[in-house]
Structure 1
Amino acid sequence: MNFYCDHRLYWRIVKERRRRLRRHMTKAELVLWQEIRKRKLGYRFQRQTSIGFFIVDFYCKWLRLVIEVDGPIHYFQKEYDHAREDWLRRQGYSILRFTNDEVLFDRDRVKEKIREVCRRLDGDLKNSPSCPPPLGGGTV
Structure 2
Amino acid sequence: MKNRIIPYNRKLKAFTRELRKNSTLSEILLWNQIKRNALGVEFHRQVRMLNYIVDFYSHEIRLAIEIDGNSHNHKQHYDNKRQYELEQYGVTFLRISDIDIK
- The answer to which structure has the higher strand fraction is 2
Correspondence for 2:25 among 16, 24, 27: 27
Partner of 2:87: 89
Structure 1, unmatched stretches of 5+, are 1-9, 105-140
| 1:25 to partner: Cα distance | 0.3
| TM-score, normalised via structure 2 length | 0.88
Correspondence for 1:42 among 21, 40, 60: 40
| 1:77 to partner: Cα distance | 0.8
| 1:73 to partner: Cα distance | 1.5
Deviations 1:100-121 (A, max 9, x none): 10111xxxxxxxxxxxxxxxxx
| 1:88 to partner: Cα distance | 1.0
The sequence identity of aligned pairs, in percent, is: 35
Correspondence for 1:59 among 57, 79, 87: 57
Say what the alpha-carbon RMSD is for the aligned residues. Answer: 1.0
| 1:53 to partner: Cα distance | 1.1
Moved segments of 4+, more than 2 Å: none
1:94 maps to amino acid = T
| 1:32 to partner: Cα distance | 0.1
| TM-score, normalised via structure 1 length | 0.65
Deviations 1:56-95 (A, max 9, x none): 0000000010000011111101011111111111111000
Q: Secondary structure at the match of 1:41?
A: coil
Q: Secondary structure at the match of 1:38?
A: coil
Distance 1:86 1:66 in 2: 12
| 1:33 to partner: Cα distance | 0.2
Aligned residues: 94
Distance 1:19 1:97 in 2: 22
Structure 2, unmatched stretches of 5+, are 1-8
- Which structure has the bigger radius of gyration? 1
